[in-house]
A and B are shown apart, each in its own frame.
Chain A
Amino acid sequence: MLEILLSPAVLINYFYSILRMSTPLVYGSMGAVISKRAGTNNLAIEATMLLSAMAGCMTSIFVKNLWFSLLVAILTGVLVSLFLAIMFLKYRADSRMVCISLNTVATGLAMFVPLVVLGAKGNTSASPSLTFPTWSIPFIKDIPVVGQILSGQCCLTYIAILVVIAVWFLLFKTPLGLRIRAAGETPEAAESVGVNVYRVKLLSFVLTGVVSSIGGCFMSMYYLSWFTYGMIAGRGFICLSVSNLTNGRPIMAALVAILFGAIDALANNLQGVASIPADLLQTLPYLVTVIGVTMVGYLDVKRLKAEK
């Protein structure tokens, strides 16, 4: 079994699938990072991704335009985020309650909307929808092995790199980023120097919606070429723990997201080869997330003690 696992073709395929599996996690993590910097543990990334995955895929069924579908998906993500933000910033709802319920609402809508529009419950596989193209990268694609891994990925995978850099730049090199971080760390101090904390936080939620909805789109318009209601499968929560694990540092978060993607890919690739039942392998990403959040908590306590 080990020989099959370590053959070059399987290994290349594995490394290729790492980048594929980690793309949605990178987008979601960037969303979680922005929220975290603005002072919120955004448990609703899951709902944002799910609803935008649905919106993007279903738009592309009716309007055969890829980038317009992406735009609709992003708008959906922004709306979900804004709803969440208004509910808990303006109406002071417990953010955990709102987020968890938003996830329930999202799952319900993910079943209901395809049924009403297409006649299939929670599934659009019967209606042809568009998918994002793969890009082959000049020069790199000609290098053996490396080319096979790095080239020919979905265009959103390459755009993810730009998004990570953009998020880092936004948070650490622009006045807005400074305001977001100030509003997140010490809202009172930010308020006292004239920052409109409410507006800055609202804006950070909009940005979270934009970024994480692209991750949702990747799931329904490349990873699978249709939408199903369970397709996000806890990825939103993995993204949240990634952002916590890295303390809201975008570049680190992207790297850790790739690490989680690697575990995801491992669980996926082993299914065909190993004799371990698929259900037990599928617990792997979740177990790793649990270990991840435990580590975050432990390190946080340690850092606090060191600061004292």
Chain B
Amino acid sequence: MNQKKTLDLGIRSFEMIRTLLAILLSFVAIGMVVMLTSDQPGEVLYWFVIGPVTSIRRIGQIFQVAIPFTICSLAFTVMLRAGKFNLCTDGVFYICMAFASMLALSLDLPPIIAPIVIILLCAGIGAVFALIPATLEYKWNANLVVAALMLNYVWLHVGRYILLYVINDPSLTYTGSYKFPAAATLSTVIPGTSVHTGLYAVIIVAIIVCVVIKRTRLGFSVTQVGNNLDFAKASGISVGLTALAAQAIGGAFIGVGGAVEVLGTYKQFKTDALLSYGGYALLITAVGKKDPKKVIIASILIAYMRAGAALVNSKTDIPLELADVLQGILVIFVAAELLFANMKHRWIVKRSELDIY
């Protein structure tokens, strides 16, 4: 009887176990690479696993990374729930960082008001930019994935143009904009760490996403459109507009993320390449199975991983880029639905055998 219960639990929680196994598999794969290439594998393991919690400052770093991760992943979740694989995150995030910088340098507003105004404006800008590929698909049936990815490169170059020609501070020895006025930047929440007030923005976004998706008509329609298009059409949901609304909401969140990141973390615009938050959003959404609450937890876990990778990068001979490889492999294994499917099958067979005897 006891065995029966365990098996039932196994079959039911199979999805979770499968995800965990996929994660384990990718860690083993990367672990093997580390063993082969590093002279100090023990150190690597220590900094990756324990490193992020060895000091208050480092714990702060986890949450600082988790801020853009959570925002971008929730944004991607909303867009993906409407069935749209809109990979605009990287580009929109970058262009919103550029616009937020321009606004921060040109608007002359009192503290607290200034960042709020900039973040809200960037939300609008982000919504517009995320809508561009979505509208191309809606109106003219363009391939959304390709359109969004290509537009990312366009926004990258436009953002770089802003950086190099519009707000560039020629007196710097590196490429960067003028430093933002103190009134426009986000202050630190916890002294001694780099966690900034962008944390409040994350909390607001998280609440909005959870409430909108689970409790409102719009959220229900979005999920319906993503899950079963024909059923959504039959039940009278205006499918195209609902999907577009989801893209606009997602884009607005990405805009918030970009503004918060540049105002809170950098306090000056100096990024001249796309930050790979889109890739992380994809990973986190895949691990969190598009469920807002799980996505938030996954964001923090992946941020922990990322913080560990950053420590490994600075303390050992393994570079940060291996984290990108790990991230990609993770998504592939998590997405491979039939990986370990045999296991579930065996469980089901065993369960039915137990019923017979």
What residues of chain A have their CB less than 8 Å away from a CB belonging to chain B?
A: 41, 43, 87-88, 90-94, 96-98, 100-109, 111-112, 115-116, 121-122, 233-234, 237-238, 240-241, 244, 277, 279-280, 282-283, 286-287, 289-290, 293-298, 300-301
CB within 8 Å for A290 and B279 given contacts A90-B338, A93-B336, A244-B143: no
Beta-carbon contact of B158 and A279 below 8 Å: yes
Residues of A within 8 A of B133 (CB): 290
Beta-carbon contact of A93 and B332 below 8 Å: yes
With the chains together, A102 CA to B325 CA distance in Å?
9
What residues of chain B have their CB less than 8 Å away from a CB belonging to chain A?
A: 37, 85, 87, 133, 136-137, 140-143, 145-147, 149-151, 153-154, 157-158, 160-161, 164-165, 276, 279, 282-283, 286, 319, 321-332, 335-339, 341
Beta-carbon contact of B319 and A41 below 8 Å: no
Smallest CB-CB separation from A302: which chain B residue? B141
With the chains together, A293 CA to B37 CA distance in Å?
42
Beta-carbon contact of A97 and B153 below 8 Å: no
Return 13 A-B CB contacts under 8 Å, by A number.
A41-B143, A90-B338, A91-B336, A92-B338, A96-B145, A102-B332, A108-B325, A111-B324, A112-B325, A234-B150, A241-B146, A294-B136, A294-B140
Residues of B within 8 A of A241 (CB): 143, 146, 150
**Which has the most chain B C-beta neighbours within 10 Å: A121, A233, A277, A286?**
A286
Smallest CB-CB separation from A41: which chain B residue? B143
**Chain A min CB distance to B126 (Å):** 18
CB within 8 Å for A100 and B140 given contacts A237-B149, A237-B150, A280-B158: no
Residues of A within 8 A of B325 (CB): 104-105, 108-109, 112
Beta-carbon contact of B324 and A100 below 8 Å: no
Beta-carbon contact of A121 and B150 below 8 Å: no
Residues of A within 8 A of B137 (CB): 297
Query: DSSP class of B's interface residues: helix, strand, loop or mixed?
Result: helix
- Residue in contact with A297 in the complex, picked from B141, B328, B331, B337, CB distance below 8 Å: B141
Residues of A within 8 A of B154 (CB): 283, 286-287, 290
CB within 8 Å for A112 and B143 given contacts A277-B161, A290-B151: no
Interface contacts (Cβ under 8 Å), in number, total 161
Beta-carbon contact of B335 and A98 below 8 Å: yes
With the chains together, A93 CA to B319 CA distance in Å?
29
Query: DSSP class of A's interface residues: helix, strand, loop or mixed?
Result: helix
Residues of A within 8 A of B326 (CB): 108
With the chains together, A92 CA to B323 CA distance in Å?
25
Residues of B within 8 A of A295 (CB): 140
CB within 8 Å for A112 and B319 given contacts A97-B286, A105-B324, A287-B154: yes
* The 4 A-B residue pairs with the shortest CB-CB distance in the complex, in nearest-first order: A108-B324, A297-B141, A105-B328, A91-B336
Beta-carbon contact of A91 and B337 below 8 Å: yes
Beta-carbon contact of A100 and B282 below 8 Å: yes
Smallest CB-CB separation from B329: which chain A residue? A105
Residues of A within 8 A of B151 (CB): 286, 290
Beta-carbon contact of A290 and B147 below 8 Å: yes
Beta-carbon contact of A293 and B328 below 8 Å: no
